[in-house]
Amino acid sequence: MPKELIQTDYAEIMQKSYIDYAMSVIVSRALPDVRDGLKPVQRRTLYDMHELGIRSDKPYRKSARIVGDTMGKYHPHGDSSIYGALVVLAQDFKMGLPLIDGHGNFGSIEGDGAAAMRYTEARLEKVTQEAFLSDLDKGVVEFVPNFDETEKEPSVLPARIPNLLVNGSEGIAVGMATSIPPHNLGEVIDAVIALIQDSSLTSEDLMKYVKGPDFPTGGIVVNESELAAVYSTGSGKIKIRGKVETEKVPRSDRVRLVITEIPYTMIGAGIGKFLNDIAALADSKLGSDIADISNQSSKEGIRIVLELRKGADPSYIEKLLYKKTRLEDTFGVNMLAVSDGRPETLSLHDILESHIDFQFEITTKKYQSMLDSELQKQEIQEGLIRAVDVIDLIIEILRGSKDRSMAKNCLVNGTTEGIRFKSRKSRTEAAKLRFTDAQAQAILEMRLYKLIGLEIDALTAEYNETLKKIERYTDILNNYSSMADVIVQQLEEFRKEYASERKTVITDAEEIVLEVKKPEAFPVVFLMDRFGYARTIDESVYEKNRESAEEENRIVLHCMSDSRLCVFTDTGKQHILKAERVPHGKFRDKGTPIDNLCNYDSSAETYLQVYSLDDMKEQRMIFTTALGYVKSVEGKEFDTVARLSAAATKLEDGDRLIDVHPAHFQASMVFATRGNYLLRIQEDTIPVQKKAARGVRGIRLSSGDEVESVYYLEDGAPTEVDISGKTVSLNRLHIAERGGKGTKLRK
């Protein structure tokens, strides 16, 4: 059997498939619909709970039951996404207006996860039933087949409040993301009413009603002047701060800072990181006035207490928290939602206008459905009232008919054939009957008690009431103002029952300027042992332990607490280390590896000497390499490096730096090689060069030999050293020319 082969470009197939996938994620999973403000998983969960009858006045049902039913009928993407959506809809610290009433552990503001779905229970909130699900039976929204076409689900819920703004939304799609903050229900409803009454209002005009976001966690929005641009374009940044209060400690002259509100962006794991950041500040010099931190938060709200030391400045600590932690944070706004089946970034006006259009659409369908129902009732009521007037004739028709269809045919079409009448007059009158099919059906089903006088009066009163409803519904459907009044009245009822006071303060606050109080410098002694662990101690502590300090440490350097130290290594590099970063403590403290304090890498280089840059500026430094090169460099050259690490000297291949030492000009120095050659020269014979220079030859080496150590002799003082097991008096060596081979030490 021949097969037709269709050739196409692989790139085109991949492009089309990826676009289809991306649009599926965007429209069907990640982004909310501008009309009801819900993502598909949220909409399906609420509708399933409605179908299961889990209403606010009914008992809670297991979350696992809801999740399983939703997954089996409407959302086949896994139980975790459904339960995650259900949990968020029940969390009052994330939602401006929770839509689900959760019972059990539904997580906490501090990032604790909800209990497993088999342990928690849920039911719909009253507002959800009234504002999202109340008119589904009136055909106000389209129902579409579910994933396997065995059920029907609403394409959108008939939301009566602008939920996209009230509860906000966050979601990451393919190539785009939405981030909409929650707002105050009362303010948003006021804005909707204002726009209904005056459609020419702009986003900036509407901000007279919607002041800005209203986060469930409270806080303070500090860039009010920038909000107009955010709401006009649908994107921008909102700066929000937590709320800090100052309390006096009872029976003490100290004060404490209490954080009672946090930025909305800190919800979850952000609180734990925030506490860690405060602890790090308390350990640093900046926040040394923070004595203790305690998290006393509970179900009643946030309460993070910072105990301050005596004499501390609470204003400075507050500024420090705003500047150095997430107590002041930025909420990125991108009001992206699905509008008319495609993703769009919407302004405040666009969102409210879409909501109003949707309200008029569903209100039109609702009242058209109600009008059709009343018209049907009118038809039947008119038939019954007319039937009462000729009830004797109708009874005669019923008694004379052979079956139900014969009687109905007579009532509808006046057909009298086959029916026995008492008189010719009755037959003539029956032939004139022209009830509608619905009226005839109602007459046939009418019970005899309806013929009682009071029942007839009630029928007439009901008929008059039906006429009034028809008149009212017709007026609403035919007049914009009448329908607008209905929508406004309904919105006002929701505002009256469900609106709450604003929690977030909107203001224009000044930028936090943190004037760091620089601690007064004091003398310290820098110690570093042979393993590279560094620390600083007070000079008084050093004096008490001088002998142990010099025996146990390879580097002992007197400097100031704010000094910058220069670490020279055998690879010819210099690393800048701030003394304030070095841990300051007791003499027996272990210290911190120097690798963690600067860019020094112990696996690739070995430190030689550490000097204070302030001291080096005033002198020259002598560099000596293993291949016998030597040079003198002005110390101020090493203070011009902007980077934390740089080359301190130039080295040939195979060479390494073995010594860096301050020059004393009138002193001499001795090179000692591995081959036991000694050469003594005057320091002033070493030329001054730039640090990028290689240097000049200090000693001429035999093949395979190298300089092993360098000794400095000051003012002719006797110096005895042990070289290859023999004591040598270096000051007895004669002073030779630089570049010579030196004298071989005899054993």
pLDDT at 431 over 90: no
DSSP states of 652-710 as a string?
Answer: -TT--EEEEEE--SSSEEEEEETT-EEEEEEGGGSPB--TTS--EESSPPPTT--EEEE
Residues 403-415, mean pLDDT to the nearest whole number: 86
Of 68, 109, 69, 74, nearest to 88 (Cα)?
109
Query: Catalytic pick from 74, 119, 316, 611?
Result: 119
What confidence category does residue 640 fall into, taking pLDDT thresholds of 50, 70 and 90? low
pLDDT score, position 146: 92
pLDDT at 514 over 90: no
Between 446 and 184, residue with greater pLDDT: 184
Domain assignments of the chain as residue spans, ordered by start = 38-155, 243-326, 368-478, 523-744
Q: What is the pLDDT of residues 34-46, one digit of tens each?
A: 999 999 999 999 9
What confidence category does residue 27 fall into, taking pLDDT thresholds of 50, 70 and 90? low
Q: How far apart (Å, rounded) are the C-alpha atoms in residues 453 and 555? A: 116
Q: Which CATH class is domain 38-155?
A: alpha beta
Residues 118-137, mean pLDDT to the nearest whole number: 94
CATH of 243-326, one of 3.90.800.10, 3.30.420.40, 3.30.1360.40, 3.40.50.300: 3.30.1360.40
Q: In this prediction, what percent of the chain has a pLDDT beyond 70? A: 96
Pairing mode of beta strands 677-682, 668-673: antiparallel
Task: Find the range with the poorest average confidence among 34-48, 271-285, 476-490, 531-545.
Answer: 271-285
pLDDT score, position 25: 66
| DSSP-assigned letter for residue 161 | S
pLDDT at 510 over 80: yes
Q: Which two tokens stand for residue 159?
A: 């939301």
Residue 528 has a CB neighbour count (10 Å cut-off) of: 23
Rounded to the nearest integer, the mean pLDDT of the chain is 89
pLDDT score, position 458: 84
pLDDT at 236 over 70: yes
What confidence category does residue 655 fall into, taking pLDDT thresholds of 50, 70 and 90? very high
Active site residue 119: yes
What is the sign of the dihedral through the CA atoms of 602, 604, 607 and 611?
A: negative
Element (H, E) at 151: none
pLDDT score, position 666: 67
Residues 392-419, mean pLDDT to the nearest whole number: 84
Q: How far apart (Å, rounded) are the C-alpha atoms in residues 359 and 390? A: 46
Fold matches, 38-155 and 368-478: no
pLDDT at 440 over 90: no
Residue 253 has a CB neighbour count (10 Å cut-off) of: 8
Q: What is the pLDDT of residues 205-217, one digit of tens each?
A: 999 999 999 999 9
pLDDT score, position 643: 62
Residues 568-573, mean pLDDT to the nearest whole number: 92
Q: What is the pLDDT of residues 137-170, one digit of tens each?
A: 888 999 999 989 999 999 999 999 999 999 999 9
Instruction: Tell if the pTM clears 0.85, that is, is over it.
Output: no
pLDDT score, position 450: 65
Residues 191-215, mean pLDDT to the nearest whole number: 95
pLDDT at 292 over 70: yes
Task: List Cα–Cα distances, 405 to 208, 411, 441, 442, 555, in angstroms.
Answer: 67, 10, 10, 14, 116
Q: Are 326 and 273 in contact (CB under 8 A)?
A: yes
Q: Are 613 and 565 in contact (CB under 8 A)?
A: yes
pLDDT at 289 over 60: yes
pLDDT at 1 over 60: no
| DSSP-assigned letter for residue 86 | H
503 Cβ partners below 8 Å, 6+ apart? 214, 215, 216, 217, 218, 219
pLDDT score, position 116: 95
pLDDT score, position 11: 79
pLDDT score, position 212: 95
Residue with tokens 């013929």: 451
Q: Which fold has domain 368-478?
A: Topoisomerase; domain 3 (1.10.268)
pLDDT score, position 715: 63
Task: Find the range with the poorest average confidence among 241-250, 572-581, 663-672.
Answer: 663-672
What confidence category does residue 63 fall into, taking pLDDT thresholds of 50, 70 and 90? very high
- b vs e for 13-33, b when ≥16 Cβ sit within 10 Å of the residue's Cβ? eeeeeeeeeeeebbbebbbbb
CATH of 523-744, one of 3.30.930.10, 2.120.10.90, 3.10.290.10, 3.90.1150.10: 2.120.10.90
* Angle, CA of 74, 113 and 162, to the nearest 5°: 55
Helix axes of 185-197 and 348-389: crossing angle, nearest 10 degrees: 70
